[in-house]
């Protein structure tokens, strides 16, 4: 036999628990651990690099290959790292971001090191419009019935041995 008091308490506590989970007040065992993405720079390895004397190979040996290089300038290397946690909808919440920009001269000697963090970032607005494609905008019914009656009877095995059809005259 069901006991009404525990059942009533569980029905009252369940919406409260769901509300707490929805507000982000979830226990640690229900959340994802922070994830490090990109190339996290070790401060001790960064301290080994000296502008004016270190070369590209010194930088690569000390902190690894760059995350990216500038689009039109091979003398600028960019190291990006983020600490994120997954949130609802498959997106990531960024907790910490570090960007190091290394500039080299034409001889491959390190000229300067710039450090940027999350507070230096700027929001980017995404354009909502779509790129038009050539052709017509066919409705659902046009797409569904568009090829009805557009087939070649010769393609189904009706024409053989050099005889053609009206659409495929064959060899004469």
Q: What is the domain-level CATH number for residue 73?
A: 3.30.1450
Give residue-wise pLDDT tens across range 61-92: 999 999 998 888 889 999 999 888 888 777 88
pLDDT tens for each residue of 134-145: 777 777 887 778
pLDDT tens, residue by residue, 10-51: 656 556 555 555 555 556 666 778 888 888 889 999 999 999
Q: What confidence score (pLDDT) does residue 122 get?
A: 86
Beta bridge partners of 103: 76, 112
Determine how many CB atoms are found less than 10 A away from the CB of residue 29: 5
Task: Please check whether residue 4 lies inside any domain of the structure.
Answer: no
- Residue 131 inside a domain? The answer is no
Q: What is the mean pLDDT of residues 51-57?
A: 94
Is residue 153 scored above 90 in pLDDT? no
pLDDT band at 99 (very low <50, low <70, confident <90, very high): very high
In a domain, 26, yes or no: no
Between β-strands 92-104 and 68-69, what pairing exists: parallel, antiparallel or unpaired? unpaired
Closest CA to 40 of 84, 75, 86, 85: 84
CB within 8 A of 172, min separation 6: which ones? 164
Domain around 67: 34-118
- Domain-located, residue 111: yes
User: What's the domain count of the chain?
Assistant: 1
Closest CA to 97 of 41, 143, 51: 41
CB 16 within 8 A of CB 10: no
């Amino acid at each position: 036999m069901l006991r009404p008091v525990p059942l009533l308490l569980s029905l009252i506590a369940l919406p409260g628990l769901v509300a707490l989970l929805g507000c982000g007040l979830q226990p640690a065992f229900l959340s994802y651990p922070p994830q490090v993405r990109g190339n996290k720079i070790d401060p001790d390895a960064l301290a080994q690099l000296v502008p004016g004397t270190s070369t590209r190979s010194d930088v690569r040996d000390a902190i690894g290959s760059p995350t990216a290089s500038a689009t039109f300038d091979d003398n600028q290397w960019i190291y990006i790292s983020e600490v994120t946690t997954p949130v609802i909808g498959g997106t990531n919440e960024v907790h910490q971001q570090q960007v190091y920009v290394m500039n080299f001269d034409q001889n491959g000697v390190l000229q300067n090191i710039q450090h940027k963090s999350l507070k230096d970032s700027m929001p980017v607005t995404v354009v909502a419009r779509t790129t038009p494609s050539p052709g017509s905008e066919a409705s659902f019914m046009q797409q569904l019935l568009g090829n009805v009656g557009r087939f070649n009877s010769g393609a189904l095995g009706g024409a053989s041995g050099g005889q053609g059809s009206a659409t495929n005259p064959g060899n004469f």
